[in-house]
Amino acid sequence: MITFTYVFLHILLLYVFYKYSLKFKKKQLQYWKIASIPIIFFSLEEGLRWGRFIDWCAYYDTYYNGLETSKFEFLFKEWWGLFHNLNIPYSIVIMTCSLLFILSLFIFFKPYANLFSIFFPVLISFTALSAENFIRWYVAFSVILVSFRFFLDKKFVRFIILASLVPFLHVGIVPVGIIMILSTFWKYPISPLLVIFVSLAFLFLFQASFMLNFIFIVDLFFGNVEKFSGYMNNLDGWLTGIGQNSTMEHKSIMIYIISMLPLYCVLYTAYKLRDKLSSEFSIMYNLGAIGVIFLSISSGLELVQRYAETYYPFLALLIACVINFLPNYKHMNIYLKKMIQLICYVFIVYKFILFIQPLSHEAFMCYVWNYWLSPQATFNLY
């Protein structure tokens, strides 16, 4: 019954986003009224999960017994400390984190509401599992997204206020925000052929033996910083994917090229469609291109994978643009259009299957109303 509940609620989550996103095309003036239903459903479904990956289990004990001695950044520690002092249950705290993430997506991508019926189901299937695991990372990323929207809308005071909070939530994600800001100074979409060339070069270059060369550089800058001691103790695993505690799957080069092919097609097609889209689209496109490059060096490397996945929202937007606008694009061979559409749909279905499929152990699929193992016991299973 636990497995059925998990699969059913994940399918229902995708359906709710698709169903309500269709309404944005007809009722733009009721944006937040329509958005409230999928926001609430996502917050409840994702927030009330029990034992949802390693960080959830590790933070459970920290929340109740170790916040004062934790290595959390100041603002995150104070925020959770307030919840703790108010005796707020841990599941409600996690639900608040899920709420912040989905709310930030609706704030940032509001100008693209007409694409939401494709965008959000794709995005949820891309990011939900990572957002379940990397709790602090996605809290900080949520703040980055909202602050970046203020920056794009030229509301610079609000941008500065929010952006200044990010290092005090998760200092490791700061480079993501910097890259987003720098991307606005390049007004033209990057050639997809250049992105594909760089991506393929990185696929061959950034192998485990090559990544070992960076260990001394990382150790030089962070070796004596207590906050990063956990990473430093397993530095070879974080950089090469072959350390004793590394659990990320390391794919062969050929498998990775095949898995990247749909994204190469999306970049190529989105570049062709650029004249039909808004002036802001070049920024979204370039951030998606940066995400493709990060993905090229992320096989088996959890730290790089975290950075790569923060660009998934922009790749999901590009996929939505291709699905929506390609059928009416007249400057492409009809058979090439059909092939690209087929590749995109197969890729989307594949991501849906990964999102809804049962996890490796029943204890990983529980919710607060049907769990049967303690957080520590669940943690030991990972």
What is the number of other CB atoms lying within 10 angstroms of the CB of residue 182?
11
**Per-residue model confidence (pLDDT) at position 247:** 46
Question: What's the CA dihedral at 64, 65, 69, 71 to 10 degrees?
Answer: -40
Q: Which amino acid is at 158?
A: R
**Per-residue model confidence (pLDDT) at position 210:** 56
Rounded-to-integer distance, Cα 250 and Cα 339, Å: 29
Closest CA to 289 of 179, 166, 140: 179
Rounded-to-integer distance, Cα 277 and Cα 282, Å: 9
**Per-residue model confidence (pLDDT) at position 246:** 45
Q: Which residue has the tokens 């790089």?
A: 304
74 CB burial (10 A radius; 0-12, 13-18, 19+) = exposed
Rounded-to-integer distance, Cα 37 and Cα 24, Å: 13
Backbone angles phi, psi at 229, to 5 degrees: -60, -35
**Per-residue model confidence (pLDDT) at position 79:** 95
Rounded-to-integer distance, Cα 47 and Cα 45, Å: 6
Contact 137, 170 (CB under 8 A): yes
H, E, C per residue of the chain: CHHHHHHHHHHHHHHHHHHHHHHHHCCHHHHHHHHHHHHHHHHHHHHCECCCHHHHHHHHHHHHHHCCCCCCCHHHHHHHHHHHHCCCCHHHHHHHHHHHHHHHHHHHCHHHHHHHHHHHHHHHHHHHHHHHHCHHHHHHHHHHHHHHHHHHCCCHHHHHHHHCCHHHCCHHHHHHHHHHHHHCCCCCCCCHHHHHHHHHHHHHHCCHHHHHHHHHHHHHHHCCCHHHHHHHCCHHHHHHCCCCCCCCCCCCHHHHHHHHHHHHHHHHHHHHCHHHCCCCHHHHHHHHHHHHHHHHCCCCCHHHHHHHHCCHHHHHHHHHHHHHHHHHCCCCCHHHHHHHHHHHHHHHHHHHHHHHCCCCCHHHHCECCCCCCCHHHHHHHC
**Per-residue model confidence (pLDDT) at position 275:** 77
**Per-residue model confidence (pLDDT) at position 245:** 44
Closest CA to 271 of 335, 326, 338, 316: 326
Give the chain's residues under pLDDT 50. Answer: 244-248
**Per-residue model confidence (pLDDT) at position 4:** 96
